[in-house]
Amino acid sequence: MKLFAFVFAPLAGFSILAQAQLKKDYPIQPVAFTQVYVTDNFWAPKIRVNADVTIPYTLEQCKRTGRIDNFKRAAHVLPADTMTEYTFDDTDLYKVIEGASYGLQMKKNPELERYLDTLIAIIGAAQEKDGYLYTFRTMNAPKPHPWIGTKRWEEEEDLSHELYNSGHLFEAAVAHYQATGKRNLLDIAIKNADLLVKTFGFGKEERFPGHQIVETGLTKMYRVTGNKSYLDLAKFFLDVRGPGKKYSGEYNQSYKKVVDQHEAVGHAVRATYMYTGMADVAALTGDEQYLHAIDDIWHDVVEKKLYITGGIGATGNGEAFGKPYELPNMSAYAETCAAIANVYWNSRMFLLHGDAKYIDILERTLYNGLLSGVSLSGDRFFYPNPLASMGQHQRSAWFGCACCISNMTRFLPSMPGYIYAQNKNDLYVNLFVGNTADIQLPAGKVSITQQTNYPWDGKVNITVKPIHTEAFALHVRIPEWAEGKPVPGDLYFDTDSIARKIDILLNGKSVKYTMVKGYAVIQRTWKAGDNISLEFPMQVQKVLANNAVKSDTNRFALERGPLMYCLEGPDNKDATVQNIVVDKNAAVNAVYKPGLLNGVTVLEMQGTSTSRQLNSAQLVSSTQTVTAIPYYSWANRGPSEMTVWIPYEASAARPKPAPTIASKSKVSASVANKRMYLALNDQYEPLDSHDNNSMYLHWWPKHNTQEWVQYDFDQEYTVSASQVYWYDDGPFGDCRIPASWRILYKQGDQWIPVKNVTPYTVTKDKYDSVRFEPVKTTALKLEVQLPAENASGIHEWIVK
């Protein structure tokens, strides 16, 4: 198979001559989601909730939070006396228009279409005459946003996001044009893209985008218009990246030329958008210079930096990839946007190489780390998607930085476009979803229907109906998990990895097939009504991590089919899961619960749980039934404990806290985030002050202020000592050990400093202890003086 194929794809509204310029593209082409109608009980309801709830909700939030008003201020319809928080807030409106447009391609909605036209008119009024469209500058606010610089593009390589905004405008414009045939948004995008072509290039403005996405936006514009200057500009934005500039570095993937990068570093969303753009430009130009780089980077991610949920981005410090095998669970960032970008990238890698391993990663991400980003109700969201929680993580109705929410609205309607693909007369079945599709092959038109209860059941029936008897090859993906292997490489492995031969039936009889790059290939002359049936083994797999992943030592994760599972508080004894231990050899039963979480298969097994006792190192252990739910469905019942990686050794578990004075107290503080209060008395011993797998309370971004935390006891006690373990995330974070601290006790309505008999020390990576003259009281307060240039935080506060 040649790496690049020649295609001619004229579209309504543009000349055949313009489209004939598109001589190269991916050798494999996705079957457009507009040709696929999803009918199953898993994805169809989720796509419907996105259309009926998430898109209207997000449009309303864009209005309520001032994102639409940003455009009115840029058009000088409203005074520029205020603005939203981030310079990329324009893109939330673009992305929800893109998602709504995808929805219009599947189902007509005249009212929504009219509303989009109203929004597009508002956007157009904000555009300057030469095509510049960036509300934060054009509104000419008396107090400009600090990220925009004094002139256009000045801060583009850092934080202005001017080109990022353009990229999402382009993607929205193409989607809207293809959905409606209207050019109103496309003409706005063309005017902006023409300005970029005029402005940027070697010998012109030689700047790279600080946040990548404009590259893929430009390739989409090229596909629709045939204007090669857009493709050339996309390539320029990749080639101009490199060292020696003011903002060059790993964070934005500009520390080396893109062709010299061979590992994933920096901001995970920026990175995967860039790798997607590199694949697009390589396919459309026939230039293979980028391929060695993104092939190597893919192996680096999948073999060293991928969460078992398909999430990427280990650390909140820069929303970035960590070091090899650095995959913490409680503090996992695994941003929803990064999961979506991971799907985009792996889809492109498949279109380039035709290998099922890329769809394996796509599927893992899709069903787990991506789908977890939105609630079952469609109006609550996750930004990071951690793999463990003590209850501090909770879905939010909105974020000041709402990129993940608007990204989800545009992704879900396009999900059916990942089910099938074709390369001439090779038809690929990539995902197993109940659907009907109409596909045009060179051999002729083919209707294909899948019937399946996947992912709860491994049975798949595929009915093929060519218009005429036709010869073509059907490529059915055999997932690696079905052969006992979670992912390529040795980052994760099944404890009982057994290769399993999948029997495929043609019209009820076993059929011979050949395995090619992870696909069962059946080449034959097909007739209407031919039926392919197969059944994937749905045994529960206990997955272990490479020994280099220290966060997963002495733990296993549960996988059934494409779904990863987790333990969550509401399903387990005392709403506690961090103290559970399950033997590696324990039998696991799968039980479908139609009334739970919109209908899920749960996993049940026997395990033990441990609890601490007062004044004793001895733990109390008890047996219990342990229940696991699909990871994507967690946190739909309020905040609670959760873990994906289940201890099989007691040393890896966190015993339930003993009923101490601190654990029985009501917590309050000068910081309003009550979820952080759980940290103070969880009785977890941090490894060090920077242990992000331990909970902590912090006062960031405050500096040089006096702050406090308070315990109101459940009764009056006599106390005489206290211990504090400080949170300090230096050198990269902003929290440091405090300048000073002291303890006060409550006497009537007064707070009185205790009379300490040992000094107040301030130490990193261990407890600071103070003893004081005994006091009888109902409450203690810990006052903290923050450093002049930093915030501070607390892991644990003990009272004796």
Number of Cβ within 10 Å of residue 379's Cβ equals 18
| Residue 780 lies inside a defined structural domain of this protein | yes
Taking 60 as the threshold, does the pLDDT of residue 3 lie above it? no
Contact 781, 721 (CB under 8 A): no
420-471: pLDDT as tens digits: 999 999 999 999 999 999 999 999 999 999 999 999 999 999 999 999 999 9
Whether residue 731 is preceded by a cis peptide bond, meaning omega within 30 degrees of 0, is yes
Residues 480, 487 contacting (CB under 8 angstroms): yes
The DSSP secondary-structure symbol of 369 reads I
* 437 and 553 fall within a common domain: no
Token pair in block for residue 63:
């209005």
Looking at every residue in the chain, the average pLDDT score rounds to 94
Does the residue 646 lie in any domain? Answer: yes
What is the reported pLDDT for 14? Answer: 39
- Per cent of the chain over pLDDT 70 is 97
Question: CB-based contacts of 527: which residues, under 8 Å, 6+ apart?
Answer: 466, 469
Residue 660 belongs to a domain: no
Give CA separation, 467 vs 441, 470, 524, 527, 528, in Å: 11, 8, 15, 8, 7
Among 535, 556, 584, give the residue marking a domain's end: 535
Report the chain's C-alpha Rg in angstroms: 28
Residues ≥6 apart with Cβ < 8 Å to 731: none
Q: What is the CATH number of the domain that holds 745?
A: 2.60.120.260
Average pLDDT over residues 63-78: 98
Q: What is the pLDDT of residue 694?
A: 84
HEC per residue, 498-518? CCCCCCEEECCEECCCEEECC
Residues 740-772: tens digit of each pLDDT? 999 999 999 999 999 999 999 999 999 999 999
Among candidate residues 369, 393, 418, the one where a domain is terminated: 418
Query: In angstroms, rounded to a whole number, what is the distance separating the alpha carbons of residues 48 and 21?
Result: 37
- Closest to 87 in 3D by CA, of 127, 147, 143: 147
Is 7 part of a structural domain of the chain?
Answer: no
Residues 139 and 162: their CA atoms lie apart, in Å, by 14
Number of Cβ atoms within 10 Å of the Cβ of 774: 13
Question: Is pLDDT at 706 greater than 70 in this prediction?
Answer: yes
Give yes or no: residues 107 and 78 share one domain: yes
E strands, 165-224, where? none
Contacts of 194 (CB under 8 A, 6+ apart): 131
> Of 316-320, 345-349, 479-483, which has the strongest mean pLDDT?
345-349
How far lies 139's CA from each of 120, 133, 291, 474, 708, in Å? 17, 10, 42, 55, 41
Stretch (H or E) spanning 712:
strand 706-727
Length of the chain: 800
Predicted local distance difference test score (pLDDT) of residue 12: 33
Query: In this structure, how many other beta carbons lie within 10 angstroms of the beta carbon of residue 359?
Result: 25
CA distances 441 to 57, 281, 409, 416, 741, Å, are 39, 25, 31, 18, 73
What are the two backbone dihedrals, phi and then psi, of residue 647, each rounded to the nearest 5 degrees?
-65, 135
Look at residue 306 and give its three-state secondary structure.
strand
Residues 647 and 748 in one domain: no
Residues 697 and 795 in one domain: yes
Helix, strand, coil percentages, rounded to 5, for the chain: 30, 25, 40
CA-wise closest residue to 211 among 156, 262, 173? 156
**Span 71-91, average pLDDT:** 97
Strand partners, 551: none
Q: How far apart are CA 534 and CA 516, in angstroms?
A: 17
516 and 600 part of one domain: no
Q: Above 80 in pLDDT, residue 87?
A: yes
Token pair of 309, please? 């949920």
- Which DSSP state fits 155? T
Say if residue 581 is in the same domain as residue 672: no
Tokens at 552, concatenated:
């997963």
Res 323 pLDDT > 50: yes
Domain with residue 462: its CATH number is: 2.60.40
Is residue 7 pLDDT above 90, yes or no? no
CATH number of the domain to which 356 belongs = 1.50.10
Which structure tokens are listed for 8? 């001619």
Strand, coil or helix: 331: coil
The closest of 728, 568, 747, 761 to 646, measured between CA atoms, is: 568
Domain presence at residue 628: yes
The pLDDT value given to residue 22: 58
**pLDDT one-digit tens code per residue, 183-202:** 999 999 999 999 999 999 99
570-574-575 Cα angle (round to 5) = 30
Helix (H) or strand (E) holding 745: strand 740-747
Alpha-helical segments (H) within 354-499? 356-364, 403-411
Question: Residue 75, CB half-sphere, CA atoms under 13 Å: how many?
Answer: 15
Do 134 and 65 share a structural domain? yes
9 pLDDT more than 70: no
Residues 624 and 747 in one domain: no
Whether residues 771 and 787 fall in one domain: yes
Q: Taking a C-beta distance cutoff of 8 angstroms, is the pair 452, 89 a contact?
A: no
DSSP per position, 414-444: GGGGGSEEEETTEEEE-S---EEEEEEETTE
- Tell me whether residue 493 is in a domain: no
pLDDT tens-digit profile of 207-235?
999 999 999 999 999 999 999 999 999 99
Same domain, 27 and 116: yes
Measure the CA–CA gap between 437 and 474, rounded to whole angstroms: 14
Give the H/E segment covering residue 98.
Answer: helix 90-106
- CA 108 – CA 530 distance, rounded (Å): 33
* CA pair distance 468, 447, nearest whole angstrom: 11
Q: Give the pLDDT confidence of 599-657 residue by residue, as tens digits.
A: 999 999 999 998 887 777 778 889 999 999 999 999 999 999 999 999 999 989 998 88
Note the pLDDT of residue 287: 84
Element at 271 (helix H, strand E): helix 268-285
Residues 91 and 120 in one domain: yes
Query: Any idea which residue has 């197993």 for tokens?
Result: 432
- Binning pLDDT at 50, 70 and 90, where does residue 89 land? very high
Q: Identify which of 121, 106, 134, 115 has the alpha carbon closest to the alpha carbon of residue 48.
A: 106
Max intra-chain CA distance, the chain = 93
CA dist 648 and 580 (Å) reads 9
For residue 768, the SS3 value is strand
- Residue 752: φ, ψ to 5°: -115, 130
pLDDT attached to residue 23: 67
With tokens 């490479």, the residue in question is: 546
Residue 303 lies inside a defined structural domain of this protein: yes
Sign of CA dihedral 201, 205, 206, 209: negative
pLDDT in tens, 490-542: 999 998 766 678 999 999 999 999 999 999 999 999 999 999 999 999 999 99
SS3 track for 646-690: EECCHHHCCCECCCCCCCCCEEEECCCCHHHHHHHHCCCCCCCCC
Quote the pLDDT of residue 478. Answer: 97
**Rounded Cα gap, residues 454 and 431, in angstroms:** 10
Question: Cα–Cα–Cα angle for 503, 509, 510, nearest 5°?
Answer: 30
pLDDT score recorded for residue 632: 98
CB atoms within 10 A of CB 507: 11
Name the residue among 617, 487, 458, 478 with its Cα closest to residue 545.
487
The neighbour count for residue 255, using CB atoms within 10 Å, is: 16
Among the listed residues 153, 93, 161, the one whose alpha carbon sits nearest the alpha carbon of residue 121: 93
576 and 545 housed in the same domain: yes
In terms of residue numbers, what domain contains 545? 541-652
Residue with tokens 């990895």: 497
Domain end residue (candidates: 418, 446, 461): 418
Q: Name the domain count of the chain.
A: 4
pLDDT, tens only, 136-172: 999 999 999 999 999 999 999 999 999 999 999 999 9
Q: Domain for residue 372, yes or no?
A: yes
